[in-house]
Every structure is written in structure tokens, then in C-alpha cells.
Amino acid sequence: MVWAAGCAAAGGEAEQAVDLVVRSADTKLARETKATTILQLSLYSELLAKIQGTMPEFLWVVPPGEGYAGEKYPVLEYAAYYRHVRKRLLMAVEEDAGKETYPEPVEHCNVCRWFRECDQRRRADDHLSLVAGIRRHQRESV
């Protein structure tokens, strides 16, 4: 993630106050911007607003390509969607609070920093996912 700063000058020529507004930007490998990227940068913008007291006007996505020109998205245009997803996430987390969880293997495990711990747990439990070639729906029907 890149934090970019922009200056907004205010006041007359003789007396100029400069407000520094930090905005969120992120470089991505994908050429097309995904909804998850907008949500991620919306969260950063919200956090920045808490720190600096001003919501950045735009969030920036920098896809690969010549010159790495950033694409700007108006924060307020996505704010309602962001708040809706955040609310649903908080409700889901609250509902599941205190419930026992299990590290069922998923695609993200391949790059997850907790893989070692989860793998150890599955091995200790002799989990069905360790059976060569078995698929999730087959495990669930056993």
C-alpha cells in the first residue's frame, strides 16, 4: 500500500494555510479493479479520516501498465456499499463469537501465514483432508 499526500491551499496570497490530506492508494497485479479492492481502500480511507479529521475525496488503485497511472474512485460513491458490507461482517462476527471453529482447508491456505498451525492441527486430528485426492464435498458426506 502507498500512502499519498496531497496539499490543498487555502487563504489569500499573503496568508496561505496548507492542509495536508493523506489519501489511500494501493498497487494491484490485476488489470481490472475488484470490489474487494474498493472495500479495502474504503477501510483505509475511513481510518485516515479518523486520524486526520478529513475524509479523503478519492481512493486510488494503481494497476500494472505503462507509467502506472492510478485510477481514482470517489470515496463517497462507494461509502454506502462499504458501510453495508462492514455492518454485515460485524453482525456475522458477533453471531459466531465464542463458537468453536475448525481450520477447514480452503484455497487461501496455500498463501496463509497460519498454514503451519492449521496443518499441525489437522494432522493431530487425522483430518479427512489428508486423504489423497479427497474433495470437500466427499469429506462432508462421510
Q: Which 112-131 residues touch ligand SF4, going by CB under 6 A? A: 112, 114-115, 118
Task: Name the CA radius of gyration of the chain, rounded.
Answer: 22
| CA–CA separation, 93 and 78 (whole Å) | 22
Sheet strands side by side (includes 17-27): 2-10, 17-27, 58-62, 71-74
Q: How far is the CB of 53 from ligand SF4 (least distance, A)?
A: 36
Q: Which 85-114 residues touch ligand SF4, going by CB under 6 A? A: 103, 106, 108-109, 112, 114
Q: Which 12-51 residues touch ligand SF4, going by CB under 6 A? A: none
Number of residues that bind ligand SF4 (CB under 6 A): 8
Nearer to ligand SF4, 14 or 93 (CB): 93
Give ∠ CA 83-3-31 in degrees, rounded to 5. Answer: 75
| CA–CA separation, 123 and 138 (whole Å) | 19
Tell whether residue 56 is a contact of ligand SF4 (CB under 6 A): no
Q: Is 137 exposed, middle or buried (0-12, 13-18, 19+ CB in 10 A)?
A: exposed
Nearer to ligand SF4, 21 or 112 (CB): 112
Nearer to ligand SF4, 22 or 109 (CB): 109
* Interaction site with ligand SF4 (CB under 6 A): 103, 106, 108-109, 112, 114-115, 118
